[in-house]
Amino acid sequence: MNQISNPRFFVANAVAHSEPEAAAKTQELTPQGVLWLAALGAASRMGVTQDEIGQIVQFLSQPSWEPSTGLIDKAVHDLVQESHLIGQPPLQGEPRFVPTVSGRSNFRRLMLTRIGHVPSPFGQACLRVKLAFIDLLAPSDRSQLLEIVARNYERELILRRNRRPPFQIGLFGQSWRDQETEHLRRDLVQMRTYAYAPIYEDMV
């Protein structure tokens, strides 16, 4: 039996609101939210099976974040239950999921939801997922998303400039810290370049 149709596979959801709804209130992408985003993005490109969604999520999130198969399957289940994904009857094999109108709306909302801390391992996984599907957004939304990410990098650089180590970190420790800061600066410049440059068809 397919996991989506197996009622024993999923426990009852005791939370009144879904994770993506909570993300909208806090304006910060949650782990459940990024799983929804990856599933909706993958389904928006072409009809995908549940197994294919899992492979796409794992490819985009690793190595900095490794959501379990159970979490990925539950995300797909929740999207189907809330009518954001719909399964198309297959000619053979598993059903292939495509987004509904509400699914496309939620995809856009999650794409524009702020990543809490971009330089963190989870933040980098969120960024990879968003950049993988950014070409599915309208040009104005692409620029808005990239500007949101750029501002996050700016905040981190300000924090690093004002943060002083409480102890002597040594030459190698300081050198490594300087290297990380320079990497953040390069990422900031790249995000701003993307934000204000057209994304051509041959780039997507």
Q: In 3D, which of 83, 115, 118 has the Cα closest to residue 98?
A: 83
One domain for residues 203 and 162? yes
Last residue of a domain, which of 110, 137, 164?
Answer: 137
Question: How many domains does the chain fold into?
Answer: 2
One domain for residues 178 and 99? no
Mean pLDDT, residues 148-155 taken together:
89
pLDDT in tens, 64-76: 888 888 999 999 9
One domain for residues 128 and 152? no
One domain for residues 31 and 119? yes
One domain for residues 10 and 64? yes
State how far the Cα of 107 lies from the Cα of 105, in Å rounded to an integer.
Answer: 5
Per-residue pLDDT, 33: 93
CA end-to-end span of the chain = 37
Domain extent at residue 190: 138-204
Mean pLDDT, residues 26-53 taken together:
89
Q: What is the CATH number of the domain that holds 129?
A: 1.10.10.10
One domain for residues 117 and 195? no
One domain for residues 31 and 83? yes
Q: Where are the alpha helices (DSSP H) in 62-169?
A: 69-81, 101-111, 121-133, 139-162
One domain for residues 181 and 201? yes
Mean pLDDT, residues 141-150 taken together:
90
Last residue of a domain, which of 137, 156, 178?
Answer: 137
Per-residue pLDDT, 63: 86
pLDDT tops 80 at residue 92: no
Q: Identify the helix (H) or strand (E) that includes residue 25.
A: helix 19-26
One domain for residues 2 and 66? yes
